Structures are given as C-alpha cells and as structure tokens.
Homo-oligomer: A and B are copies of this chain.
Amino acid sequence: MEHREYLVRLGEKAKAAAQVLAQANTESKNTALLRLAAALRREGTRILNNNAEDVAEARARGLSGAFLKRLELDEKKINGMAQGLEEVAALPDPVGEIVSGWRRPNGLEIKQVRVPFGVIAVIYESRPNVTSDVAGLALKAGNAVILRGGSEALRTNRTLVELFTEALVAAGLPAAAVQLVTDPERRLVEELLQLRDYLDLVIPRGGAGLIQMVVEKARVPVIETGVGNCHVYVDEGADLEKAKKIVINAKVSNPAVCNAAETLLVHQAVAEQFLPDILAELHQLGVEIRGCEKTRALAPGSLAEAIRPATTEDWATEYLDLILAVRVVPDIAAAVDHINRYGTRHSEAIVTESYPRARYFTEAVDAAVVYVNASTRFTDGYEFGFGAEVGISTQKLHARGPMGLKELTTTKYIVLGTGQVR
C-alpha cells in the first residue's frame, strides 16, 4: 500500500509535467537536452565515482563479468551519451506534424496531428546509458518519463537524473519530466505496471525474463522489445564472398545483442561449396557450431567431430553467445518456413543475386526488418539514422523495428466545424 502511494505520487507529478511538456516549444526541449549533454561532459568525474561504487557493490555481490561490463561507465560511454543527446536535439520535433487531413462532404475539416503519449514508464536493466537515451528521446517527443533502472545501477542513475532535473529546470521545463524510481523493492515494478490512471505506455527493455514478466503483469499498454532469434539464409547462386562477410559479421561482431544471427540456413545447391570454408573460419573465430546432418557431413576433417547435432531446441534458441546453428535446406521455401516457424520476427537476411527470390523472401518472411545482402546487425536506431533508440520493437502494434522519436508519439484528430450536427 505504501509502495502504491509512492508510485501514485510519482504518477501525479509526471501527469502534471506531461501537460506542460505537451505544449512546450521545441527550443526549450532542445535547450534542456543540450544543457544535459554539457553537464554530462562537465560532471564526468562525479558520474564515474558514483558508477564505481555501483560496480564495486555488484562485484562484491558476485555478479558476472558480462553484467559488470554493461553496468560500468567510462569516459567514452559518457561521451557517447552526450553525443546522443546532441543528435536528438538536432532532429526535427515530431510533435505537431500533420500526419493526414481531409475535408468531408459536410464541410468538416479533419486533421490527424502527432502529439506526445503523455507519461511513459521504461523498465530496464543494468546499462545506465539507457537512462539518458530514453529520457532524451521521451523529452524531445514531449513526454514525461518514469524510469526504473536496475537496482545495481541506482547510484549512477540517480546522478544522471539529478543532472537531467537541473537541465530541465534551467530550460524552464518541469523537473518531474524525468523521474527515477529509487525504491529498490522488486514488488514496486508490479505495482507500477498497474497504474492505468497515470501511465499511457510501458516499455520494458532488457532480457526475455523481464519482458515476459511485464507482458504478464501489465494492465497498461506495452511495447515489447528485444528478443532476436535472427537468421541468415544463403541462397542458391549467392555471391559466396558477400555471404561469408555477412555471416561472420552477423554472428561474431557482437554476439550478445539481439540483432546478432543465431542460425545459418544454406541452400543445398551451394552447401558443398560454401560450408566447409565458412565452418572452418567460424570455428577459428571461436564459434561453436550446432549442425544438421548434412552440415556435419560437409564439415572439414576434425571439425566434424566438434559439431554437435542441432536439435529443435537449437533452432528455437537465442544464444546471445558465440554459438551458431547451421542447417542445409532444399530450397528457399524451406528457408522461409524455418524462419517463420522458429524466428522471433526481429531481423532476417537473405544473401542472393536473384531478383525474384529477393522479392519472395522480403514478402514472405514475417519480421520487423528483412535484409537483402546486408548483415542483420543494422537493426539499430543509430544505424537507421534515428539519433538514439528506445529499443527494437518485435511486436506489430504501434511500432515495429528500431524505435525513435516518432514511435514515442501518438496522434489526435482535430475536427473543425461550423456548427455541424449529425
């Protein structure tokens, strides 16, 4: 009950702030963003000191290396956060765009206008740069945010939000435009997800467990982000040099992220020529292979023994690690079936020189982003040119793929009449 009251207070303040922000001019929003960017650069030492305390505590609690790496800031990361805010300030303001408009036979003028959502809650895990990315985008789109970062990053996030508050106030905007849930109690998140009177949207950003929990518990509209069981399909007659570069990039360049490839599908007509080479190279790069029978038969020499037979579970797994499942398929239709069956509708790529098959693949594969002759790793707000990103939506409602400013807005119809009745 006490928790609910705490959250309701945050919610009320956010709602009041959102009403002011909805009508704030672009200049004040940009001023706040640029002031925060400057503050991040100026207060780097203070941020790093607080972050070091968070990291020390997490280490003492025995948290893993990968976790600590995500939690830990350095000058370069802080610089990246500042730069992201500057890029967001430079983007056009999405609020007020007339999305569509027409006049009805009875003389009513209908305009569909882009407006902020209102209050957005974002629930995320250990990476503190999400704090500035998400709050920056939300502010530019005219929204108030309630942030709930990982409790391990509390000191860092608190410092960042303090700096944000100062920047907001200096720009003449309400301090409550960006608020942090500082109570570390886990049950609080569940309570937060029930606040239908105060929240217009909840975005979970993190692992499958977090997203699952939010989908289960939320009574507020949710945009799911993230899980990516992505495929690269190498077609009959593909340019195998391109294919090799793309497969290696998609698997190896950053295996821990959602847009990395998890399964390689190879048309049987090029399997004999393509697989021995790519399997050897991947192996050398430290990638563990799980292969279908044909894949294992084509592996060169001793490598064949290192390849475990792939199971149905392998096809369905997002490894987020240096592991790749490999399957030889009889034709492109089998590749598309495999992807639509086991994929998570995130990012899927075909390597092909065939126009009709490129067209078939892009139409038949059901995913947020479908690539022809490019790595799945480009599914990313920065790579799409959005300045920053809130996450990758893998659902079909409202936003699909990388989410930037526009995805943090909704629309409103304004209808101008001269006394019309029905």
Contact = CB atoms under 8 A, between A and B. Distances in A.
Q: Which of A19, A242, A358, A412 has the most CB of B within 10 A?
A: A412
B413 A370 contact: yes
A205 interface: no
Interface stretch (A50-58, A270-278, A392-400): A392-400
A201 B224 CA distance: 13
Contact of A419 (B239, B417, B421): B239
A253 B396 CA distance: 37
B396 A400 contact: no
Interface stretch (A169-177, A294-302, A372-380): A372-380
Interface stretch (A102-110, A128-136, A306-314, A319-327): A102-110
Given A104-B385, A413-B370, A420-B375, A396 B118 contact: yes
Interface string A246-276: 1011100100000000000000000000000
A23 interface: yes
Given A117-B396, A118-B366, A396-B118, A378 B419 contact: no
Nearest to A247: B421
A104 B383 CA distance: 8
Given A117-B396, A383-B422, A396-B221, A415 B108 contact: no
Q: Which of A23, A366, A396, A418 has the most CB of B within 10 A?
A: A396
Contacts of A369: 412-415
B117 A413 contact: no
A375 B412 contact: no
A123 B320 CA distance: 38
Interface in A324-351: 340
A413 B110 contact: no
Interface string A350-375: 00000000100011101111111111
A200 B422 contact: no
Contact of A23 (B245, B364, B421, B422): B364
A216 interface: yes
A179 B221 CA distance: 27
B253 A422 contact: yes
For this chain, the copies found in one complex come to 2
Contact of A421 (B246, B395, B397, B411): B246
Contacts of A249: 421-422
Contacts of A6: none
Interface string A199-221: 01100000000000001100101
A274 to B, nearest CB: 15
B118 A419 contact: no
B215 A396 contact: no
Nearest to A367: B412
A121 B344 CA distance: 20
A250 B422 CA distance: 8
A79 interface: no
A378 B417 CA distance: 11
Contacts of A418: 373-374
Contact of A398 (B378, B379, B398, B414): B398
A223 interface: yes
A223 B363 CA distance: 26
A416 interface: yes
Contacts of A411: 400-401
A410 interface: yes
Contacts of A375: 420-422
22 contacts: A19-B364, A19-B366, A23-B363, A104-B385, A118-B396, A215-B219, A216-B219, A221-B397, A242-B419, A362-B414, A371-B417, A372-B415, A373-B417, A373-B420, A374-B415, A374-B419, A375-B421, A377-B421, A378-B420, A398-B398, A400-B412, A401-B412
Given A108-B374, A400-B411, A401-B411, 10 more contacts: A102-B385, A118-B396, A200-B396, A221-B395, A253-B422, A368-B413, A369-B414, A371-B415, A374-B420, A397-B397
